[in-house]
Amino acid sequence: QQQVKQSPQSLIVQKGGISIINCAYENTAFDYFPWYQQFPGKGPALLIAIRPDVSEKKEGRFTISFNKSAKQFSLHIMDSQPGDSATYFCAASRRFAGNNRKLIWGLGTSLAVNP
Amino acid sequence: DAGITQSPRHKVTETGTPVTLRCHQTENHRYMYWYRQDPGHGLRLIHYSYGVKDTDKGEVSDGYSVSRSKTEDFLLTLESATSSQTSVYFCAISGISGTEAFFGQGTRLTVV
């Protein structure tokens, strides 16, 4: 049972185009939604994150759009560059017993930006 | 990179042997995690720790055990390695907020 569903599994975009990756979740207890970027041979690194009290967050060419009612959030990469070629993971975080937190991960999207 | 060191970075071991992977952090973060990453499965949580000697199971804990005797060290042990445990293992840490996770460089483990 995948609590965070990510699509597409892979994506090919031309340089300068817009890359869009989507995620959906079911548990309304999630209160923090990060996106991670992973290059081959490296660990994932936080790219951008959003909390459900805002509908959009932008950092440079990267934007998260958040739709609380639909329980969906997406990553938009504007003016995609070959250096953006990587695997992108969405995640959702919630508190549980003992005020601890846990991240639930999507399965990842492999993005290739053609020059 | 955040102060996380995984060792070894690569290991080949034989089926049935015990294997221990080490994660060392210099950030004094509360939470530490062990994940495995396999094609088509994303990141799957094996075990995590929310303090010294406080650990809990993740979604794929069978065949794995962990220990955290010091804040900075989190050990993952494969009691008797199997070929299905061939994977890339990542350690991650996060602070008191438990939100942002910082990952190590990974350990590529091959069980033959």
> pLDDT tens for residues A19-40?
999 999 999 999 999 999 999 9
Look at residue A99 and give its three-state secondary structure: helix
Q: Is the pLDDT reported for residue A99 higher than 90?
A: no
Whether residue B99 and residue A98 make contact (CB cut-off 8 A), yes or no, is no
**Beta carbons of B31 and B94 less than 8 angstroms apart:** yes
Q: Is the pLDDT reported for residue B1 higher than 60?
A: no
Q: Is the pLDDT reported for residue B92 higher than 90?
A: yes
Residue B90 touches partner A, C-beta closer than 8 Å:
yes
Beta-carbon contacts of residue A22 (< 8 Å; ≥ 6 apart): A6, A7, A8, A72, A73, A74
What DSSP state is assigned to residue B100? Answer: S
CA distance B64 to B85: 10
pLDDT for position B100: 83
How many domains, chain B? 1
Question: Using one digit for the tens of pLDDT, what is the confidence trace for A63-72?
Answer: 999 999 999 9
Q: Quote the domain boundaries for residue B79.
A: 4-111
CATH classification of the domain holding B32: 2.60.40.10
Chains A, B: CB contacts within 8 A come to 53
Q: Please compute Rg for chain A using Cα positions.
A: 14
Whether residue B31 and residue A100 make contact (CB cut-off 8 A), yes or no, is yes
CA distance B52 to B24: 13
Percent with pLDDT over 90 in chain A: 85
Residue A45 touches partner B, C-beta closer than 8 Å:
yes
A4-109 belongs to which CATH class?
mainly beta
Q: Residue A80: which of A58, A111, A113 has the closest Cα?
A: A113
Interface mutation vs chain A, best among B6, B38, B43, most A CBs within 10 Å: B43
